[in-house]
Amino acid sequence: RVRGPAHPELGYLLGHYGAFYERLDDHAKARPLLERALAIREKALGPNHPSVAWNLTQLATVLRGMGDNAAALPLIERALRIQEQALGPNHSQLAETLRNRARIAQELRNYVLARNDLDRALQIAEPALGPNHPRIGLLLNNLGIVLLQTRDTAGAQAASPAGCRRISPRMS
């Protein structure tokens, strides 16, 4: 009340509350919080601020969880454009956004986009995190699933076990 209904800190808090509900799979509670947070932060920070990209990604994740991948895709694409412009084309944060877009593309059966995004995410993340990081394993597993969906069994057989070894060395 002291700072008003459009204060950037309120947008920040609403975004985090929305992300909390998203993690609980309570998309019905998360969505209005994230939509309000996005509106506040766009107005306060501008439409191309990196923090707005975070809000867009969170909202896209909720929409994907609700099965509305067609609405999620333009949001995650906008987030990716903002991050590329603000952070550069090889910033480590892009890898996670690319993975999120790949998951949405996969749901939409756009396997070419999903594979390209996962390949690019790996190219960005591996130098930043190292080849044995668990996140690299997750990306490889995601890639293996996409390769299976495109009937590239040889590629899937190479990617998925390699991913498992990075996630948990005991799985090898």
Cα 114 to Cα 103: distance, rounded to the nearest angstrom = 7
The one-letter amino acid code at 104 reads I
Quick: pLDDT tens for 100-159: 999 999 999 999 999 999 999 999 999 999 988 888 988 998 998 898 888 877 777 777
CB atoms within 10 A of CB 13: 14
| Contact status, residue 101 vs residue 77, Cβ threshold 8 Å | yes
Cα 120 to Cα 21: distance, rounded to the nearest angstrom = 30
What angle in degrees, to the nearest 10, is found between the helix axes of 92-107 and 111-129? 160
Quick: pLDDT tens for 140-150: 989 988 988 88
Q: The whole model's pTM is what? A: 0.86
